[in-house]
A and B are shown apart, each in its own frame.
Chain A
Amino acid sequence: MSPLENRAWLTLWSMCPPYLVYFALQIVAPVWVARLTILERFGLLAAAAITHAVVFVAGLLLLKHRERGEGPLADERDHAIDARATRSAYYALMAGAIVAGMVMPFGQTGWKIVNTMLLAIVLSEALRCVLTVTRYRGTLRLAQ
């Protein structure tokens, strides 16, 4: 597998489980979450973020160790795949930002807006990684 593809898989595996648990708690146990103090709610969010960061950094170090002396990490194909996936993720992030920043403030407050924006960030990053790994298995023409 290409180094960029490895990193996309690593991002998916390190990011999805902790945030899935975080958002599942918001949906499954909203009463319990609402009873938490603001510090405890930030703690819950920090736990997801720190788990993501620790697993990602550990995986990245492992990948860098395995890729030593393997030549260039990325070339024009990798950059083209990354650019296309990032472009799609950008539009997803824009849509989420419009909902959280321009629509929700008229009817919602506080944590609902925070969680919507966080969901938009997580989904756009997941979309970028999914598009990256799928495009490595498909056909890519630069002129398209």
Chain B
Amino acid sequence: MPSESLTNEIRLLRFLADDMTQAELGRRVGLTRQTIAAIEQGRYSPSLDVAFRIADVFEKRIDEVFCWRPAASRSA
């Protein structure tokens, strides 16, 4: 089964936002620190609602934070 990939720029955006901690980001979007870490490492794909809230914290559009690539375009 082909597996798509969902990458994100949260680590970079946290660094640019005065090195915001995972706990602080989690507090602002209503997630635990462990879930923010899992999202950053690509071990968890957040819901659309959470993805929008994370983008809102960094004042970015959702596609500037998250990038989804289907399996076919990765191999191309």
Residue numbers of A with Cβ under 8 A of B are: 1-3, 71-78, 136, 138-143
Cross-chain contact A74 with B47 (CB below 8 angstroms)? no
User: Most A CB atoms within 10 A — which of B26, B32, B34?
Assistant: B32
**Which residue in B23, B42, B45 is a CB contact (below 8 Å) of A71?**
B23
**B31 adjacent to A138 (CB under 8 Å):** no
Q: Is there a chain A Cβ closer than 8 Å to B30's Cβ?
A: yes
B61: Cβ under 8 A from any A Cβ:
no
A3, B28: Cα distance in complex, Å: 19
Q: Establish whether residues B43 and A75, one from each chain, have CB atoms under 8 Å apart when the complex forms.
A: no
Closest A residue by C-beta to B39:
A77
A141 to B26, CA, bound (A): 19
**Chain B interface residues (CB < 8 Å from chain A):** 23, 26-27, 30-35, 38, 42-47, 50
Q: A71-B33, A138-B43, A140-B38 are in contact. List 9 more A-B contacts (CB 8 A).
A: A72-B31, A76-B35, A77-B34, A78-B35, A136-B34, A140-B43, A140-B44, A142-B45, A143-B45
By beta carbon, the residue of chain A nearest B23 is A71
A71 to B38, alpha carbons, bound, how many Å?
17
Residues of A within 8 A of B33 (CB): 71
Interface of A is mostly: loop
CA distance A71 to B31 in the complex (A): 9
The reply to whether B30 and A75 form a contact with Cβ atoms under 8 Å apart is: yes
Structural contact, B45 and A141, CB atoms closer than 8 A: yes
Q: Which residues of A lie under 8 Å from residue B45 when comparing CB positions?
A: 140-143
Residues in B with CB closer than 8 Å to A1 are 34
Give chain A residues whose Cβ lies under 8 Å from the Cβ of B46. 76-77, 142
**Nearest-CB residue, chain B, relative to A143:** B45
Nearest-neighbor residue (CB-CB) of A140 within chain B: B44
- Specify which chain A residues have a CB less than 8 angstroms from the CB of B27 in the assembled complex: 71
Across the interface, name the chain A residue whose C-beta is closest to B6: A141
